[in-house]
Amino acid sequence: MASTISLLPEKHFLCSLCRDIFTSPVTIPCGHSFCLSCLSHYWARHQSKYCPHCKRLFADRPDLSVNRILADISDNYRKARPQKPPDEEMAIDVEQLIQERLQKIERLKYSVEIQKSSYLREVRESQKVFSALVIAMEKSHKAVVTAIEERQRDEEKRVEALVKELEQEVQELRKETIEFDPQIPVSGDQGQSDDTKQDTSGTISIMSLSDMKDWSKVTIETDPCVGVTRRALSDMMDQIKVEVNRLSKSELKRTEKYTVDLNLSAKTAHPFLSVSDDRKQVRHTDKLQEVPDHPKRFDRVANVLAKESFGSGRCYWEVDVGEKIEWSLGIVKQSTNRKGKFTVCPANGFWTLSLKAGGQCIANTSPVTPLALEQKPKKVGVFLDYAEGRVSFYCVESGAHVYTFTDTFTDRLHPFFSPGRLHGGKNAAPLIICSSFCSI
C-alpha cells in the first residue's frame, strides 16, 4: 500500500496554502482540500468565506471536519515519499515561491473587487439613511413651523376677541354714565372737572359688578414657544436612535465572519479563579487555588487572559455572562502590568467594559463612563479592529451597540476576562466563551 502511494504525484497530497503535505486535511463543498489550520487562519484574515483555490464563495461558513481518509493517506505518503536530490528540491522551492506570489497577486486582485462592492454598498446605504433622515428632519421642521403659525393665529384671534369684549364693556360703562348724568360728554375726559370725574366713579361703583369680567386674571403669554423646537428635536433623536439600532444589528451580523476561537490561559489566571478543562469557562472561587507562580499571572486582581493574541486584522468573539451581577470584559496589551495594584484604563493598556454589582454598566475610561443600557446583556460581543484602533462591545440579544474605544494599538492584544467577586454566591456563575468552531 505504502509503495503504491509513493508512486502518486506529490501534488495530490499538498495543501495549496502552505505547500506542504496535508496536516488534518479538511474538504470543503467545492471539493478542494486544505490543512485545517491553514484554512482556518486564511478565513480569519479575509472578509468573505471563499475557496482559496477556485474562489467559490460560500453564503455560510462550511463546517470544518477532518477528512480521515485523506489524513491517513497523507500520513502514509509522508512516511513513504521518496527523497529528492538537493538540486530538485531547490528547483521546486523556487517554483513554489513563484506560484505563491502569482496566487497572492490573484488574491489581491480578487480582494480589490470585493472591496469595490463593499464600498459601493456602504455608499448606497449611507445615501439611503441620510436622505431619509434629511427628509424626516425637513418634515419635522415644517410641522414645527406650521404648529407655531397656527398657534400664533389662534392667539391673535383670542386677543382680537378679548379686545372686542373689552371695547363692549367700555361702551356699556359709558352708556351707564350717560344715563346717570346726560350732561357728561360721551367721548373722552376733556372738559370734565374733578367733581364730575368723582361723580362718574360714583356711578361706576353702583353698577352691578357681577356683570363685569375680572380682567386682572386675563393674561397673554409673551413667550409661548418655550421648548417647542427642543421637543421636536427630541422626537427626531428618537427616530435617529431607532435607525442607529437598526444599523447596529446589521453591523453586528457583519462582524460574525471575523469570529475567532479563544482559549483561556490558565497560567495568567489569578489564584482565586478556576479555569475549566476545556479552557472556555472561568469562575471565581472562595479559596485560593494551588497554582505555580508565573510572571504572566495576575496576583492582585481576579483576571485572566486568553492564550491567543492579536497584532493585526479583525477578530470577534462572544462571551455568555448570563445573569451575573458583576463582570469585566475587553482587551489588554500583552506587555501590561499584571502584578500589584493598577488602574484599569486605556492609559495602562486596558480597554474594558464592566457591569458593577449595583447594575451600572461602565466603560473603564479615566474617569469611568457610565452607560445607559435599555437592557442588561446576557451575551456580550467583542469586536477588535486592530488597524482602525477600535474595540467595540455589543449586546448580542438585541444587537445594540454598547460602546467603542478608539485608540492606537502598537502592542499585541489579548482578550481579557474577569468574572467578578462572589457576592455571597450570587455571582458564582462562570463567564463562558462562546465558539462557533467545531471541535475536531
In angstroms, the CA 10 to CA 6 distance is 8
Beta strands in 5-146 (DSSP E): 25-27, 33-35
- Which pLDDT tens digit goes with each residue over 208-226? 556 678 888 888 888 888 8
The single residue listed with the C-alpha cell 477528512 is: 67
Q: Spell 113-142 as b/e; 16+ CB within 10 A means b.
A: eeeeeeeeeeeeeeeeeeeeeeeeeeebee
Please count the CA atoms within 13 angstroms of the CA of 21 that sit on its side-chain side: 15
Cell of residue 168, nine digits: 363692549
Query: How many Cβ atoms are within 10 Å of 414's Cβ, its own excluded?
Result: 23
Domain residue ranges in the chain: 7-80, 259-434
- Which pLDDT tens digit goes with each residue over 64-111? 888 988 898 888 888 877 665 555 555 556 777 888 888 889 888 888
CA neighbor of 317 nearest in space, from 269, 244, 307: 307
Q: What is the pTM of this model?
A: 0.62
- CATH numeric code, 7-80: 3.30.40.10
Q: Spell 321-346 as b/e; 16+ CB within 10 A means b.
A: beebbbbbbbbbbeebebeeeeebbb
Query: How many Cβ atoms are within 10 Å of 64's Cβ, its own excluded?
Result: 18
417, amino acid identity: F
Task: Identify the pLDDT of residue 83.
Answer: 61
DSSP state at residue 440: -
- CATH numeric code, 259-434: 2.60.120.920
Q: What are phi and psi of 385, to 5 degrees?
A: -115, 95
In angstroms, the CA 154 to CA 21 distance is 87
Task: Identify the pLDDT of residue 99.
Answer: 83
- Tell me whether strands 413-418 and 400-406 are parallel, antiparallel or unpaired: unpaired
In angstroms, the CA 56 to CA 110 distance is 11
Residue 88 to residues 14, 19, 95, 101, 334: CA-CA distances in angstroms?
Answer: 17, 16, 11, 20, 43
Residue 286 to residues 55, 272, 274, 293: CA-CA distances in angstroms?
Answer: 53, 7, 10, 19
Q: Residue 353 in contact with residue 370, Cβ under 8 Å?
A: no
How does pLDDT run along the chain (440 residues), one tens digit per residue? 445 655 667 778 889 888 888 989 999 988 899 998 888 888 877 766 788 888 788 777 788 888 988 898 888 888 877 665 555 555 556 777 888 888 889 888 888 888 888 889 889 988 888 888 888 889 889 989 998 999 899 999 999 999 998 988 888 888 877 766 655 554 544 444 455 444 444 445 444 556 678 888 888 888 888 888 888 888 888 888 888 888 888 889 889 889 999 999 999 999 999 999 999 999 999 888 888 888 899 988 899 999 999 999 999 999 999 999 999 999 999 999 888 888 999 999 999 999 998 899 999 999 999 998 988 999 999 999 999 999 999 999 999 999 999 999 999 999 999 999 999 899 999 999 986 533 32
Cell of residue 213, nine digits: 369680567
Long-range contacts, stretch 299-302, CB < 8 angstroms, 24+ apart = 299/270, 299/271, 299/338, 299/339, 299/340, 300/270, 300/339, 300/340, 300/341, 300/342, 301/270, 301/342, 301/344, 301/418, 302/270, 302/272, 302/273, 302/418, 302/419, 302/420, 302/421
Please report how the helices 86-180 and 194-205 are oriented relative to each other, as an axis angle in degrees rounded to 10: 110
Task: Identify the pLDDT of residue 437.
Answer: 37
